[in-house]
């Protein structure tokens, strides 16, 4: 063995030993680094939770002007539409979907990629050639690359298959925006319905709260007097106990109604995004007309509801998204064809051409997609069947809601009429009893009992009116009609929105336009309602 061969052998042995040592050291280092990177749950501490809660508490009503001395119904609508947090969440949800659509549109653009890199080594990447015939070295070792060099390129590429898929995804994202808008319509409709109901109940609470508490005190005093008369044997036990029972029953009814009305005030404050402990007063409002002039038979109303209800539109958009998923599955079966062109630069001084322009085309085909397509097609078909059944279920629910809401409104009107008649009779009766009490013809206890009955009649009249307003709101909500278009909400400040709400609410007539017989488009604009 020659000296040169021995030297090369020792060099290769040293290289193998160094490689093994490096691999062992690298494995140990990798294991230590991996053990140090294991993530464990880290719950928030009391300080962090306290700071988080304080931040949200400070921001929950931020940017909202305080109400004036009196809040009328139109300002309550405007504040709820402008500052209700559920509505704000839906606004941000729509904004996110719009951003997703913008991003999906950007995905259709060609790729424009810049790459740069640096490489170096401690010795030249020299090599020699060995003859395949003689087995001897045919050339002395040489190199064509510097020890250190940098290179980069700027290329424009476009994949036709990716463009087609991106176009389909952009269409699906556009339908996602429409779904978000329909969800917001549904939330706005619910807010209007809730404000309309809770306002009248809260106004009743504010109007009668003082009288309820005063009369409850008088009732308690009357109960005490009845017990005293019974104890002193000035009246029969049956008469005293019957009278006491009637007073306690009326007192219990007053307490139940008062508790119900106080909850309505807190609910109204929450709808307007006001703190529950913020003192505010409601303005006296004239009772809104209770009649319902829709101008269409129930069959046509159902058709209007099916055209306008956001739930059914949402299912229709989801069906369209699912149909485009089938298009995407077909596109994925096709081969991908990518074309590219770009400039390149290299600092290697041994290159003859260190700067050049390259171009080319490349085709690729994922054959596994062919075998996966039947299962993918079956999945899309099953989802389409599910959405179709959901659409039928929503259709039946909408039909039922339209029918039930009209029945509830008619029943609420009957109860309102009965409550109005009862209040009128009770007012006349208590007027007669007050005159008799002034002439000492009846006892104070009898007058107190009838005055409590009168106050209960007043409360039940107001509650019946609130029930009519609630039933009326349910009718419009079941039809999916937009009392206030979203553009009106977004394009006005609080005062402007209040004026727009009042103008819409006091519009002349409530007759719906008769729908056309032609088949409506997939996403018809909601019919606006003038109240």
The stretches of 37-84 forming alpha helices (DSSP H) are 46-59, 73-83
Q: What mean pLDDT comes out for the span 228-254?
A: 73
Between these two residues, 447 and 26, which has the higher pLDDT value?
447
User: Is 523 in contact with 317 (CB distance < 8 Å)?
Assistant: yes
CA neighbor of 305 nearest in space, from 375, 228, 369, 401: 401
Q: How far is CA 79 from the centre of its chain?
A: 18
Burial of 269 (0-12, 13-18, 19+ CB in 10 A): buried
pLDDT at 529: 36
Q: How confident is the model at residue 528 (pLDDT cuts 50, 70, 90)?
A: very low
Between these two residues, 486 and 169, which has the higher pLDDT value?
169
Which conformational region is residue 42 in: left (phi greater than 0), alpha (psi within -120 to 50 degrees), or beta? beta
Give the chain's length.
531
Q: How confident is the model at residue 6 (pLDDT cuts 50, 70, 90)?
A: very low
User: Is 289 in contact with 506 (CB distance < 8 Å)?
Assistant: no
Determine the Cα–Cα distance for residues 314 and 256; give it in Å rounded to an integer: 41
Q: Which of 43-47, 315-319, 445-449, 477-481 has the lowest mean pLDDT?
A: 445-449
User: Is 313 in contact with 182 (CB distance < 8 Å)?
Assistant: yes
Q: What is the mean pLDDT of the chain?
A: 79
> With 60 as the cut, is the pLDDT of residue 10 above it?
no
The predicted-structure confidence for 409-424, as pLDDT tens digits, reads as follows 889 989 999 999 999 9
What backbone torsions phi and psi does residue 253 show, to the nearest 5 degrees?
Answer: -65, -40
> With 80 as the cut, is the pLDDT of residue 112 above it?
yes
Residue ranges per domain, the chain? 67-117+161-494
Which residues are within 8 A (CB) of 494 and not within 5 positions of it... i.e. 6 or more apart? 65, 78, 79, 82
Assign 3-class secondary structure to 113-144.
EEEEEEEECCCCCCECCECCCCCCECCCCECC
User: Which residue is associated with the tokens 């005030």?
Assistant: 265
pLDDT at 36: 58
Between these two residues, 446 and 402, which has the higher pLDDT value?
402
User: Which residue is associated with the tokens 């008619």?
Assistant: 410
Q: Which of 58-62, 99-103, 399-403, 505-509 has the lowest mean pLDDT?
A: 505-509
pLDDT at 526: 39
CA neighbor of 266 nearest in space, from 251, 248, 279, 253: 279
Q: ∠364-367-369 over CA atoms, to 5°?
A: 110
3-state helix, strand, coil in the chain (%, to 5): 65, 10, 25
Q: What mean pLDDT comes out for the span 193-217?
A: 79
pLDDT at 531: 35
What whole-number percentage of the chain has pLDDT above 70? 84
Is domain 67-117+161-494 annotated with CATH 1.20.1600.10? Answer: yes
What backbone torsions phi and psi does residue 136 show, to the nearest 5 degrees?
Answer: -100, 155
Determine the Cα–Cα distance for residues 203 and 209; give it in Å rounded to an integer: 10
The predicted-structure confidence for 432-482, as pLDDT tens digits, reads as follows 888 887 777 777 667 777 887 888 888 788 888 888 888 888 888 888 877
């Amino acid at each position: 063995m020659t000296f040169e061969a021995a030297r090369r052998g020792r060099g290769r042995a040293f290289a193998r030993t160094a490689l093994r040592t490096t691999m062992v050291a690298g494995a140990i280092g990798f294991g230590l680094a991996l053990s140090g990177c294991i993530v464990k749950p880290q719950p928030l501490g009391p300080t962090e939770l306290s700071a988080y809660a304080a931040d949200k508490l400070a921001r929950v009503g931020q940017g909202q002007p305080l109400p004036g001395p009196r809040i009328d119904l139109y300002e309550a609508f405007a504040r709820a539409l402008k500052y209700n947090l559920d509505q704000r969440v839906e606004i941000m949800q729509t904004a996110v979907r719009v951003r997703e659509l913008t991003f999906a549109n950007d995905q259709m653009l060609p790729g424009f990629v810049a790459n740069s890199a640096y490489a170096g080594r401690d010795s030249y990447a020299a090599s020699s050639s060995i003859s395949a015939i003689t087995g001897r070295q045919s050339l002395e070792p040489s190199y064509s690359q510097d020890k250190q060099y940098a290179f980069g390129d700027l290329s424009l590429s476009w994949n036709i298959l990716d463009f087609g898929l991106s176009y389909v995804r952009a269409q699906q994202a556009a339908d996602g925006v429409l779904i978000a808008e329909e969800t917001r319509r549904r939330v706005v409709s619910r807010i209007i319905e809730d404000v309309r109901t809770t306002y009248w109940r809260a106004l009743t609470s504010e109007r009668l709260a003082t009288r309820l508490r005063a009369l409850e005190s008088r009732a308690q005093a009357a109960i005490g007097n009845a017990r005293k008369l019974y104890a002193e044997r000035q009246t029969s036990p049956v008469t005293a106990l019957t009278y006491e029972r009637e007073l306690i029953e009326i007192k219990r009814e007053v307490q139940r109604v008062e508790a119900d009305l106080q909850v309505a005030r807190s609910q109204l404050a929450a709808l307007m995004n006001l703190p529950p402990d913020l003192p505010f007063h409601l303005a006296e409002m004239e009772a809104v007309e209770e009649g319902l002039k829709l101008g269409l038979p129930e069959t046509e109303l159902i058709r209007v509801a099916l055209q306008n209800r956001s739930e059914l539109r949402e299912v229709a958009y989801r069906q369209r998204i699912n149909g485009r998923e089938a298009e995407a599955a077909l596109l994925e079966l096709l081969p991908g064809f990518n074309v590219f062109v770009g400039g390149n630069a290299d600092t290697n001084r041994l290159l003859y051409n260190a700067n050049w322009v390259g171009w080319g085309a490349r085709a690729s085909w994922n054959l596994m997609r062919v075998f996966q397509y039947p299962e993918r097609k079956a999945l899309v078909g099953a989802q389409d069947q599910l959405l179709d059944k959901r659409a039928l279920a929503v259709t039946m629910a909408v039909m039922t809601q339209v029918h039930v809401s009209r029945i509830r409104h008619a029943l609420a009107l009957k109860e309102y009429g009965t409550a109005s008649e009862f209040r009128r009779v009770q007012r006349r009766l208590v007027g007669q009893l007050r005159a008799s009490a002034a002439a000492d013809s009846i006892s104070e206890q009898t007058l107190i009992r009838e005055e409590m009955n009168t106050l209960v009649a007043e409360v039940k009249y107001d509650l019946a009116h609130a029930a009519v307003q609630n039933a009326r709101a349910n009718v419009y909500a079941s039809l999916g009609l937009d009392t206030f278009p979203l553009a009106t909400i977004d394009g006005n400040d609080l005062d402007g929105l209040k004026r727009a709400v009042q103008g819409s609410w006091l519009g002349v007539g409530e007759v719906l336009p008769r729908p056309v017989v032609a088949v409506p488009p997939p996403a018809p604009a909601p019919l606006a309602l003038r109240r």
